[in-house]
């Protein structure tokens, strides 16, 4: 069957298409037939969006990797999980892998972009395999082929990274207006065991789970980390509403890299956060170990009330983030950025209210 879709990233117009339905779509969902695998000497489907044998003529591929945030954000140090897995898979196939350079020619280029505000590199080849929520023109729920997703990440491409990263669970049962996780990953489910994530050259484990306490498996995994010798960080925060006596006991016994993180993104979360903080304090956790993310919407009165409610814990760490969601057309205004960057980051919130700060700076309080 001939292909008439000139937008397909894998098949040229009017060339034979492998899909009997007439459209291969994302071809990584369509494995080779048994006949094709036998013809090319394969014992199983490799998971690639093309037949490597046909593509390379049997030679090793030259692979270019592009981490959009690494190129754009000057101080970006957090590694790209998908890119590391892609690198590991191609290296396991004997391919040459390096960071993409627009001056060089590659057999295949992979580009990952996490944030929609990160600019698209104009020099990326048109046939680059793109992924990540930052690319708004591709499906948000796009996943790595299973063969690649099962790889242990290649940390050698981020030599400054001295910790392991990964997920114990994926997804989230909540549907917060500002969050893409349910659309991208679906509901909460088990994903990996911590023993499969840790590295042998470091005792640090950075977990990126979005709502680990909403999954019994996640709680059991955390409990099994007690006494393991590994220090952890849940960098997306913990849902304070789910912290009870048992959870507080588990949290207090775990070793933490630095902070125990929560989010307080709306007024309704103030009391659950305060209750969780006080539970942890009763279990011996000092307030300076607690870090709270604050979403700053255009309703600055709401944000300032959350700050006032939480700063009573003198040593607690507050981190403000102005709401930004370009998919929904939401951009922070100047007052939101002032609240984030100068009022909270600058530490002014510790000695004055937002209204007092605005009066001193001659700003409208919002």
H-state helical runs in the chain: 34-39, 52-56, 68-72, 81-92, 146-149, 181-185, 216-225, 245-253, 270-282, 300-310, 334-338, 354-361
pLDDT at 41: 61
Asked if 134 contacts 72 with a C-beta cutoff of 8 angstroms, the reply is: no
Q: How far apart are CA 117 and CA 155, in angstroms?
A: 26
Backbone phi and psi for residue 260, each to the nearest 5 degrees, phi listed first: -105, 120
Does the pLDDT of residue 353 top 50, yes or no? yes
Whether residue 112 has pLDDT greater than 80: yes
> Which option is the CATH number for 147-361: 3.40.1350, 1.10.3470, 1.10.10, 3.20.20?
3.20.20
pTM of the model: 0.81
Range list of H helices, 140-180: 146-149
For residues 113 and 54, give the distance between their C-alpha atoms in angstroms, rounded to a whole number.
29
Domain limits of the chain? 57-145, 147-361
Tens digit of pLDDT for each residue in 155-178? 999 999 999 999 999 888 877 776
With cut-offs at 50, 70 and 90, classify the pLDDT of residue 142. Answer: confident
Please, what is the average pLDDT of the chain?
86
Q: Which residues are CB-neighbours of 190 under 8 A, at least 6 positions away?
A: 168, 169, 215, 217, 218
pLDDT bracket for residue 32 (50, 70, 90)? low
Is the Cα torsion angle 40, 43, 49, 52 positive or negative in sign? negative
Q: Which of 50, 10, 11, 37 is nearest to 1 (CA)?
A: 11
Confidence band of 325 (pLDDT split at 50, 70, 90)? confident
**Res. 259: pLDDT tops 90:** yes
CA 284 centroid distance within chain: 31
Per-residue pLDDT at 304: 96
């Amino acid at each position: 069957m001939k292909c008439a879709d000139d937008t397909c990233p894998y098949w040229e117009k009017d060339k034979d298409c492998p899909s009997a339905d007439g459209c291969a779509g994302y071809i990584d969902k369509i494995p080779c037939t048994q006949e094709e695998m036998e013809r090319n000497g394969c014992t199983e489907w490799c998971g690639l969006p093309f037949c490597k044998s046909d593509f390379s003529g049997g030679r090793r591929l030259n692979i270019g990797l592009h981490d959009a945030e690494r190129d754009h954000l000057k101080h970006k140090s957090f590694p790209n999980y998908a890119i590391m897995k892609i690198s590991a898979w191609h290296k396991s196939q004997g391919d040459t892998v390096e960071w993409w350079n627009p001056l060089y020619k590659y057999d295949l280029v992979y580009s990952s972009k996490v944030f929609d505000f990160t600019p698209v590199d104009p020099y990326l080849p048109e046939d680059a395999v793109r992924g990540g929520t930052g690319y708004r023109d591709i499906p948000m729920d796009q996943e790595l082929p299973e063969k690649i997703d099962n790889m242990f990440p290649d940390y050698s491409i981020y030599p400054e990274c001295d910790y392991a990263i990964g997920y114990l669970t994926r997804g989230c049962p909540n549907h917060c207006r500002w969050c893409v996780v349910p659309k991208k990953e679906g509901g909460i489910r088990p994903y990996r065991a911590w023993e499969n994530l840790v590295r042998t050259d470091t005792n640090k484990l950075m977990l990126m789970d979005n709502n680990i306490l909403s999954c019994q498996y996640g709680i059991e995994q955390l409990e099994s980390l007690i006494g393991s010798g590994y220090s952890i960080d849940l960098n997306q925060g913990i849902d304070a509403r789910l912290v009870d006596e048992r959870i507080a006991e588990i949290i207090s016994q775990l070793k933490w890299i630095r902070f125990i993180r929560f989010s307080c993104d709306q007024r309704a979360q103030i009391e659950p956060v305060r209750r969780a903080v006080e539970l942890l304090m009763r279990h011996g956790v000092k307030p300076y170990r607690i870090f709270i993310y604050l979403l700053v919407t255009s309703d600055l009165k709401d944000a300032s009330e959350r700050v006032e409610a939480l700063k009573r814990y003198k040593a607690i760490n507050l981190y403000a983030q102005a709401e930004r969601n370009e998919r929904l057309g939401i951009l922070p205004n100047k007052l939101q950025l002032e609240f984030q960057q100068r009022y909270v980051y600058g530490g002014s919130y510790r000695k004055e209210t937002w209204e007092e700060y605005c009066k001193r700076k001659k700003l409208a309080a919002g």
